[in-house]
């Protein structure tokens, strides 16, 4: 079962994957093995969720894909990316944390334009691109608002706009909506899907919610804890666009049941 899941996890058809995770183990200095022998290919443009109980290494894996920490064993590579002279891949990514992590002293627009300014895009061009991105996440008219003036959902929208403003190839999200109320969460799920369908970046979404993973994803990688490892790799064969109709459909219930069973197996393993 685990073996079969591993085989599927590394198969992405003919095209070169955007990211390859090969035999990755991460052991922290205190001895904790956060993930062990993870193999995973991420295909260009797909929407993948990492689903699993707390402590199964979802965040650790996501952070290593982002380059925030190196594997103890194994490799993470970006086969289609430019590499520098020492072989390091240029990771073209946006990252959304569970907390919006905005600069409190800066306006929404200044927060969103930060990655552009770090890349040397200045003045009017940065502001126009930032304002356009804020409009795309539903925050037109809030450019000059400060984080303290925004609701939790709006702050998360700013955080998503900041992650997408450079049009990265991949958007990595670490339980971004976990702290939000259900209605706001559903709305942000829909808006995220709208952005993904319009731009087709690769999306990797960490969650412990079966319902959220099924609603959003084409593919769900189910993980188990102690040590963190990949247990199953499911394809959610339901069409997009996904909306309220999908959320109440027999198809949605069917996929939630399958993902739930896999998660239960992972927790029991």
CA distance 55 to 79: 29
Per DSSP, what are the bridge partners of residue 77?
A: 20
Residue with smaller CB distance to ligand ADP, 32 or 44: 32
Backbone torsion region of residue 213, taken as left when φ is above 0, otherwise alpha when ψ lies between -120 and 50, otherwise beta:
alpha
In whole angstroms, the minimum distance from the beta carbon of 103 to ligand ADP comes to 24
CA distance 180 to 142: 20
Residue with smaller CB distance to ligand ADP, 35 or 112: 35
CA distance 194 to 78: 26
- 3-state SS track over 229-268: EEEEEEECCCCCCCCHHHHCCHHHHHHHHHHHHHHHHHHH
In whole angstroms, the minimum distance from the beta carbon of 6 to ligand ADP comes to 19
Q: Is 56 within 8 Å of 65 (Cβ atoms)?
A: no
Residue with smaller CB distance to ligand ADP, 9 or 56: 56
User: Which residues form the interface with ligand ADP (CB under 6 A)?
Assistant: 28, 30, 32, 34, 52, 54-60, 228
Q: Cα 139 to the chain's mean position, in Å?
A: 21
In whole angstroms, the minimum distance from the beta carbon of 226 to ligand ADP comes to 7
How many C-beta atoms surround the C-beta of residue 63 within 10 A? 18
Residue with smaller CB distance to ligand ADP, 3 or 54: 54
Residue with smaller CB distance to ligand ADP, 3 or 30: 30
In whole angstroms, the minimum distance from the beta carbon of 146 to ligand ADP comes to 30
Residue with smaller CB distance to ligand ADP, 69 or 138: 69
Residue with smaller CB distance to ligand ADP, 113 or 207: 207
Residue closest to 63 by CA, chosen among 102, 31, 98: 98
In whole angstroms, the minimum distance from the beta carbon of 54 to ligand ADP comes to 4
CA distance 54 to 35: 13
In whole angstroms, the minimum distance from the beta carbon of 74 to ligand ADP comes to 16
How many C-beta atoms surround the C-beta of residue 3 within 10 A? 6
Tokens of 4: 């079969």
């Amino acid at each position: 079962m685990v073996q079969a899941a591993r085989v599927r996890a590394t198969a992405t058809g003919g095209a070169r994957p955007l990211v390859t995770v090969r035999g990755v183990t991460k052991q922290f200095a205190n001895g904790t093995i956060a993930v062990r022998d993870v193999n995973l290919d991420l295909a260009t443009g797909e929407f993948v969720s990492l689903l699993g109980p707390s402590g199964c290494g979802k965040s650790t894996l996501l952070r290593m894909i982002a380059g925030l920490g190196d594997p103890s064993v194994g490799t993470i590579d970006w086969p289609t990316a430019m590499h520098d002279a020492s072989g390091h891949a240029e990771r073209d990514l946006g990252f959304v944390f569970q907390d919006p992590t905005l600069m409190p002293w800066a306006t929404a627009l200044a927060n969103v334009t930060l990655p552009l300014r770090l890349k040397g895009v200045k003045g009017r061009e940065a502001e126009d691109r930032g304002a356009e991105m804020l409009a795309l996440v539903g925050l037109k008219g809030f450019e000059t608002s400060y984080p303290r003036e925004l609701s939790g959902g709006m702050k998360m929208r700013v955080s998503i706009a900041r992650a997408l403003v450079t049009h990265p190839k991949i958007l990595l999200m670490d339980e971004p909506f976990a702290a939000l109320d259900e209605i706001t969460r559903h709305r942000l799920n829909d808006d995220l899907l709208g952005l993904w369908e319009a731009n087709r970046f690769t999306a990797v979404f960490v969650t412990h919610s079966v319902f959220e993973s099924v609603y959003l994803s084409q593919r769900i990688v189910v993980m188990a804890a102690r040590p963190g490892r990949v247990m199953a790799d499911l394809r959610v064969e339901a069409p997009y666009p996904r909306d309220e109709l999908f959320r109440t459909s027999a198809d949605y219930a069917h996929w939630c049941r399958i993902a739930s069973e896999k998660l239960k197996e992972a927790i029991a393993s």
